[in-house]
Chains A and B, each alone.
Chain A
């Protein structure tokens, strides 16, 4: 496992060696904060919370996380560096974890860079810091789950566009299962028990509790095990 550290460093710094990091961070912040202000009406709500910021994360992640995750493996395959990587003394599990953790840390940094928003709310009012912290935690955990799915999809193809589309679609399904509008449509066809069961596999269902200040181990486990399961399949996909 000690091979993870150099892999992590190379991958994490790799974002900053290319325009990827700067373009991604700027677009991510513009989109997330823009949505909070203009769609979520952060100021008009007249409440000292960041609910208007976090509520869009499941939808925002849908597009931005596949964009960050699509390169993880397809890039290595296309450029042939995968041959270099896997003739170094490293196991597929170490390689998958090193790259995943680097991308996750990068996404966490993107999310945490919205901190001026939190400071603004604190300056204007008296926010509940517990809810704020649990929302950030939930958002970062959810990003990990999205990324796990995208890493797996990226390992299945050497074409980044295909990786992006597959990652987006798989995550879209996971969002829809818990989206109230979609659930309503499902409830018309299936018994409620089945709809509830399906909703349990959704990002949104598990994220909601975090934004209310509840850190339920079940929700934490959901995101971690979804990421873990995808990474396990990712390792299998890389075995030749």
Chain B
């Protein structure tokens, strides 16, 4: 579903992402781990076509993001870090705008699409509220609803549970798990327990390079009995 080939991004002389390659199949939930500044978000932004790679490319469902970014964007649902939304719009207005941008212009279909994600993300109570008045948890759910609206085959979620309380975290994880059976999901996180609870694969990225690409079981087997964060620390020591 997603083929990342030799992705690299330079910011001036600084190489933020260096030759990152991996692939994600339908049904996979890929946990993207790494310290802050390791290049997780930059990699995701290149896969979604927001940033242009310095080198390499990503192929999503057969479409090359450097050659055909619009087709790639049609197939991806993307939740950017901290879920930016237009603050002055109400939730209903915002989802309506997203629906139209995603090509659902006919009133019946538009309403049906919105209804589906509103139910999925439990937004019924806040539809008429402007986004700036929402709590962090609700904002995150609006961002989630926006990413799911067109039922995309690929989901890219940048720290989807960041800033949520434990109950909300569980809820978001349940939604991701429920959706993931028919989708390819990439999610980045700092929370190692989340990887354990959700992911079918782990990629650890450190200083722009992939240092680990394996299953959670293999990851744990690196040092039997050790806590995940101890293994993580050892692998990313270069970043400190």
A-to-B contact residues, CB < 8 Å: 3, 5-7, 9-10, 13-14, 17-18, 79-81, 83-84, 86-91, 239-240
> CB of B223 within 8 A of chain A?
no
Residues of A within 8 A of B101 (CB): 3, 6-7, 88-90
Q: Which residues of B contact A3 (CB under 8 A)?
A: 101
B85 to chain A: which residues have CB within 8 Å? Answer: 81, 84
B residues near A6, Cβ cutoff 8 Å:
97, 100-101
Q: Which residues from chain B sit less than 8 Å from chain A, CB to CB?
A: 45, 48-52, 70, 73-74, 76, 78, 80-82, 84-89, 93, 97-98, 100-103, 130, 146
In whole angstroms, what is the CA distance A81 to B132 when docked? Answer: 13
Q: Is the CB of B86 within 8 A of A87?
A: no
- Cα–Cα distance between A24 and B145 once the two chains are bound (Å): 34
CA distance A91 to B74 in the complex (A): 12
Q: Majority SS of interface residues in chain B?
A: loop
- Whether B84 contacts A84 by the Cβ 8 Å rule is yes
When distances are taken between beta carbons in the complex, the residues of chain B under 8 Å from A7 are 101
CB atoms of B73 and A14 under 8 A apart: no
Question: Which residue from A10, A83, A88 sits with its C-beta under 8 Å from B102?
Answer: A88
Q: Are A17 and B84 within 8 A (Cβ)?
A: no
User: Are B70 and A89 in touch, CB under 8 angstroms?
Assistant: yes
Q: Which A residue's beta carbon lies closest to that of B97? A: A10
- Across-interface contacts of A86 in B (CB, < 8 A): 49-50
CA distance A113 to B74 in the complex (A): 41
Contact yes or no, B82 A80, CB < 8 A: yes
Q: Other than the known A17-B130, A87-B78, A89-B70, what 14 A-B pairs have Cβ atoms closer than 8 Å?
A: A3-B101, A6-B101, A10-B86, A10-B89, A80-B84, A81-B86, A84-B146, A87-B49, A87-B76, A87-B80, A89-B102, A90-B70, A91-B70, A240-B52
Given contacts A88-B101, A88-B102, contact A83 B86 (CB under 8 A): no
CB of B73 within 8 A of CB of A89, answer: yes
The 8 Å CB contact of B98, one of A13, A14, A88, is A88
- How far, in angstroms, from A227 to B50 measured CA to CA in the complex? 26
Query: Closest CB-CB distance, A94 to chain B, in whole Å?
Result: 10
Closest Cβ of chain A: how far from B75's Cβ, in Å? 9
| Chain B residues whose C-beta falls within 8 Å of the C-beta of A80 in the assembled complex | 80-82, 84
Query: Which single member of A5, A9, A79 contacts B84 (CB below 8 Å)?
Result: A79
Q: Are B86 and A14 in contact (CB under 8 A)?
A: yes
CA distance A13 to B94 in the complex (A): 12
> Whole-angstrom distance between the alpha carbons of A232 and B135 in the complex?
39
Instruction: Please determine whether A84 and B100 come into contact, CB atoms closer than 8 angstroms.
Output: no
* Interchain residue pairs A-B with the least CB separation, the first 6: A80-B84, A6-B100, A17-B88, A83-B80, A89-B73, A87-B78
